């Protein structure tokens, strides 16, 4: 079965020039099939990149990538409702929907289900497929047995599934901006302080333990999810798209590890070693997959299979 790599939407408020450069490299060098574009976290950030979006899309398509536009996770304000409606009304590009208001706007036209929509089970996936969903990004916290059932059910329905295999886990979103709060401000006068933290703002416990990352209204894991050792299991479940979330590391280098792992060019230990080298100072975790605390890293050895 064919498996493809995808680049998820950039969660952070990277400066415009940096985003442009990032996508240029992805277009030219990364062995990925699909790139998700768009602001998912904070509607205040959107205007910074809107003008560059057509150029970036063109560049990615020229590099042979499929472009999918992602919608906001949290939709409350009129401008957020409007932006969601707009993205879900167009037919030039595929759309990944992250808020139910997008489903309402999209109706029965084809669409992708984003990771924020809680497609946690076969009944919900079946409902969504019946409403026009063609592809579902499964929630990051589903344990392996549930992932297998969900992916299997999707296949029977004739739709495809995706799972994040690299990058900080999107643990929570809120209506409140915690970046602004850390700087004694609130969301309306945030002055975009989140731009300074290109890999999230670290939160450390009062006992000195690195714990979480803040990204505007989003809370992320301190560790990077890394499912390199689980990749064979994930593919055998029928998951056909593997999502890499952009972090402040050499993402082209990261993207190159996975095809080598899939085609046997690298074994799990070598691949994990390569990723560790690319992400120095970062802890990896795979706990959600193994139904232990998400922050844990369960060592998986060659020959171990999670699913019997």
Query: Within positions 154 to 193, which residues make up the interface with other proteins, using CB under 8 A?
Result: 169, 171-178, 181-183, 186-188
Min dist. Cβ of residue 71 to other proteins (A): 12
Angle, in degrees to the nearest 10, between helices 251-262 and 268-278: 180
88 is in an annotated binding site: no
| Residue selected from 201, 228, 271, 306 as contacting other proteins according to rule CB under 8 A | 201
* 194 annotated ligand-binding residue: yes
Candidates 23-31, 46-54, 145-153, 239-247 — which segment interacts with other proteins by CB under 8 A?
145-153
Beta strand 284-285 pairing with 218-226: parallel
Q: How far is CA 300 from the centre of its chain?
A: 23
Q: Does residue 200 interact with other proteins by CB under 8 A?
A: no
142 touches other proteins by CB under 8 A? yes
Q: Applying CB under 8 A, does 86 fall inside the site for other proteins?
A: no
Q: Judged by CB, which is closer to other proteins: 16, or 118?
A: 118
Measured between alpha carbons, how far is 188 from 176 in angstroms, rounded to an integer? 10
φ, ψ for residue 12 (rounded to 5)?
Answer: -95, 165
How far apart CA 294 and CA 300 sit, in angstroms, is 15
Around Cβ 21, how many Cβ atoms within 10 Å?
12
Give, in degrees to the nearest 5, the angle at Cα 13 between 183 and 117: 105
67, 87, 105, 300: which one binds other proteins (CB under 8 A): 105
Using rule CB under 8 A, residue 202 touches other proteins: yes
Annotated binding-site residues read 42, 177, 190, 194
Annotated binding-site residues for [4Fe-4S] cluster read 42, 177, 190, 194
């Amino acid at each position: 079965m064919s498996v493809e790599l995808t680049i998820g939407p950039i969660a952070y408020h990277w400066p415009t020039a940096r985003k442009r450069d990032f996508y240029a490299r992805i277009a030219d060098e990364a062995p990925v099939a699909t790139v998700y574009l768009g602001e998912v976290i904070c509607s205040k950030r959107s205007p910074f990149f809107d003008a560059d979006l057509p150029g970036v899309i063109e560049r990615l398509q020229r590099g042979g990538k499929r472009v999918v536009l992602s919608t906001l996770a949290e939709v409350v304000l009129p401008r957020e409702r409007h932006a969601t409606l707009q993205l879900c009304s167009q037919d030039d590009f595929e759309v990944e929907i992250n808020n139910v208001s997008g489903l309402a706007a999209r109706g029965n036209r084809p669409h992708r289900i984003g990771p924020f929509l809680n497609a946690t089970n076969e009944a919900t996936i079946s409902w969504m497929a019946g409403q026009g969903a063609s592809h579902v990004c499964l929630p990051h916290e589903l344990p392996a047995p549930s992932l297998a059932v969900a992916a299997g059910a999707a296949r029977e329905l004739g739709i495809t599934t995706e799972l994040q295999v690299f990058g900080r886990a999107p643990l929570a979103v809120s209506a409140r901006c915690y970046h602004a709060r850390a700087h004694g401000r609130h969301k309306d006068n945030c002055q975009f302080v989140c731009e300074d933290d290109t890999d999230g703002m670290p939160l450390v416990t009062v006992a000195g333990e690195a714990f979480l990352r803040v990204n505007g209204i989003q809370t992320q894991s301190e560790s990077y999810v890394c499912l390199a050792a689980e990749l064979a299991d994930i593919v055998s479940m029928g998951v056909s798209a593997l999502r890499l979330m952009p972090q402040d590391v050499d993402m082209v280098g990261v993207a190159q590890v996975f095809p080598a792992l899939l085609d046997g060019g690298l074994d799990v230990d070598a691949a994990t070693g390569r990723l560790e080298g690319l992400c120095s100072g970062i802890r990896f975790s795979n706990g959600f997959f193994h139904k232990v605390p998400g922050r844990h890293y369960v060592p998986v050895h060659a020959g171990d299979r999670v699913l019997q």
